[in-house]
């Protein structure tokens, strides 16, 4: 006899948002920031939470792909949330970067880099191909939103982990990682510009309703911030042929993107106030909120690294202070998520 819990779990798996790996991204990057600031006990707690969340989400995602392949294909080809699948790539690399920062074995981070790199290559062709194949012109533009920037974030996350591992590797592997880091950083940079232009075109030609200006648009800032982090890590890499060519322009670009990310924070906060206080869009828990938490943590960590890499102590100080803002928001969203899940479970319990 089928238990009442089984249908509820099946429905949850069937409707699992493809962007839920942003939970791992947010938790992992704040854990990394706490490690950099010397708050090791709390950093380890968040690392454990990130690992547990990663494993659970990986199992649920594989289950969903096997049990509900049609729903997965539909999500892949949906302009409004297809690019959210790139949260798996970014989450894997953020987790790998945190593990690598612990100073232990590099084997697990290297394996995570290999998995994420393969997923990045496949998704980078499959998702745009399906979206363009199923939608045309105006349909694509109407579905374009902040989740598209996760494609750029995923590219930069490859650069972050590759650059983190490069100094710890023998010469042959080190050279390969330096190429991967610079290549993915450059691709992420171009994607950020292209997607940004597309969002501006949609804003100017079609407008964006308040209901759609949700947490994913914070990824606009997160993509800029991870560009800062990736650039800072590349600047600190060994003096390989590839790195020698790009070190100076990458360092300059990191500062520019940090300035732009800083400028975006008040703008995004203002949009949130306008959306909820003026336009009265209900404020409730949704998985996309983790796409807001991650940029806050990434801005902090990017500032900490940039301050060290380019000898900009004021930037590092700002990053260190902002980390506690990100941690506070993370805690609020985590509690909100748990309360929502428990409440939903109670509402679906059968009457006795």
Per residue in 283-295, pLDDT tens? 999 999 999 999 9
Per residue in 8-29, pLDDT tens? 677 778 888 999 999 999 999 9
Per residue in 231-245, pLDDT tens? 999 988 888 778 888
Name the more confident of 145 and 137: 145
Highest mean pLDDT among 11-25, 131-145, 294-308: 294-308
Which residues does 82 contact at the CB level (< 8 Å), separation at least 6? 18, 75, 76, 127, 130, 131, 147
Local structure of 174: helix, strand or coil:
helix
Q: Does residue 13 lie in a domain region? A: no
Q: Is the predicted pLDDT of residue 5 greater than 90, yes or no?
A: no
CATH of the domain at 159: 1.50.10.150
Q: Is the predicted pLDDT of residue 352 greater than 90, yes or no?
A: no
Q: What is the pLDDT of residue 19?
A: 92
Name the more confident of 120 and 247: 120
Q: Does residue 55 lie in a domain region? A: yes
Under the banding of pLDDT at 50, 70 and 90, the label for residue 2 is very low
Q: Does residue 38 lie in a domain region? A: yes
Q: Does residue 32 lie in a domain region? A: yes
Q: Does residue 269 lie in a domain region? A: yes
Domain around 51: 18-346
Mean pLDDT of the chain: 90
Residues 339-343 have a mean pLDDT of: 88
- Split into its structural domains, the chain has a count of 1
Closest CA to 159 of 221, 96, 240, 216: 96
Enumerate helices (H) and strands (E) in the chain, giving the number of each.
13, 0
d(CA 75, CA 330): 27
Q: Is 3 left (phi over 0), alpha (psi -120 to 50) or beta?
A: beta
Closest CA to 150 of 202, 232, 226: 226
d(CA 112, CA 154): 13
Q: Per DSSP, which regions of 186-272 are E strands?
A: none
pTM, entire model: 0.92
Q: What is the pLDDT of residue 348?
A: 59
Name the more confident of 82 and 347: 82
Q: Would you say 304 and 323 are in contact if contact means Cβ atoms under 8 Å apart? A: yes
Under the banding of pLDDT at 50, 70 and 90, the label for residue 1 is very low
d(CA 305, CA 316): 7
Q: Is the predicted pLDDT of residue 171 greater than 50, yes or no?
A: yes
Q: Is 90 left (phi over 0), alpha (psi -120 to 50) or beta?
A: alpha
d(CA 57, CA 8): 17
Q: Does residue 252 lie in a domain region? A: yes
Per residue in 210-268, pLDDT tens? 888 889 999 999 999 999 999 999 988 888 778 888 888 999 999 999 999 999 999 99
Q: Does residue 12 lie in a domain region? A: no
Local structure of 144: helix, strand or coil:
coil
Which residues does 85 contact at the CB level (< 8 Å), separation at least 6? 18, 19, 75, 76, 123, 127
Render 254-308 in DSSP notation, one character per residue. HHHHHHHHHHHHHHHHHHHHIIIIIS-------GGGHHHHHHHHHHHHHHHHHHH
């Amino acid at each position: 006899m089928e238990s009442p819990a089984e249908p509820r779990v099946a429905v949850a798996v069937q409707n699992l948002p493809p962007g839920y790996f942003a939970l791992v991204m947010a938790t992992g990057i704040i854990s990394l920031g706490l490690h950099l600031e010397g708050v090791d006990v709390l950093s380890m707690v968040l690392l454990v939470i990130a690992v547990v969340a990663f494993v659970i989400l990986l199992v649920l995602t594989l289950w969903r792909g096997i049990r509900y392949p049609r729903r997965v294909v539909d999500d892949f080809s949906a302009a409004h949330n297809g690019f959210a699948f790139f949260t798996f790539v970014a989450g894997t690399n953020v987790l790998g970067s945190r593990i690598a920062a612990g100073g232990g074995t590099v084997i697990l981070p290297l394996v995570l880099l290999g998995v994420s790199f393969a997923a990045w290559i496949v998704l980078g062709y499959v998702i745009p191909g399906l979206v363009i194949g199923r939608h045309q012109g105006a349909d694509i533009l109407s579905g374009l939103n902040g989740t598209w920037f996760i494609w750029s974030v995923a590219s930069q996350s490859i650069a972050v982990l590759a650059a983190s591992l490069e100094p710890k590797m023998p010469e042959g592997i080190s050279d390969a990682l330096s190429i991967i880091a610079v290549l993915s950083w450059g691709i992420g940079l171009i994607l950020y510009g292209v997607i940004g232009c597309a969002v501006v075109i949609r804003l100017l030609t079609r407008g964006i309703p308040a209901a759609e200006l949700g947490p994913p648009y914070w990824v606009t800032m997160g993509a800029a911030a991870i560009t800062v982090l990736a650039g800072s890590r590349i600047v600190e890499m060994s003096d390989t042929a590839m790195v020698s060519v790009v070190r100076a322009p990458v360092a300059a670009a990191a500062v520019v993107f940090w300035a732009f990310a800083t400028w975006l924070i008040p703008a995004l906060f203002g949009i949130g106030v306008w959306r909820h206080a003026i336009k009265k869009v209900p404020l409730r828990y949704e998985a996309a909120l983790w796409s807001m938490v991650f940029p806050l943590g990434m801005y902090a960590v990017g500032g900490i690294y940039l301050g060290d890499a380019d000898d900009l102590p004021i930037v590092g100080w700002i990053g260190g202070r902002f980390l506690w803002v990100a941690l506070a928001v993370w805690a609020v969203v985590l509690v909100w998520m748990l309360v929502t899940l428990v409440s939903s479970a109670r509402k679906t319990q059968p009457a006795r």
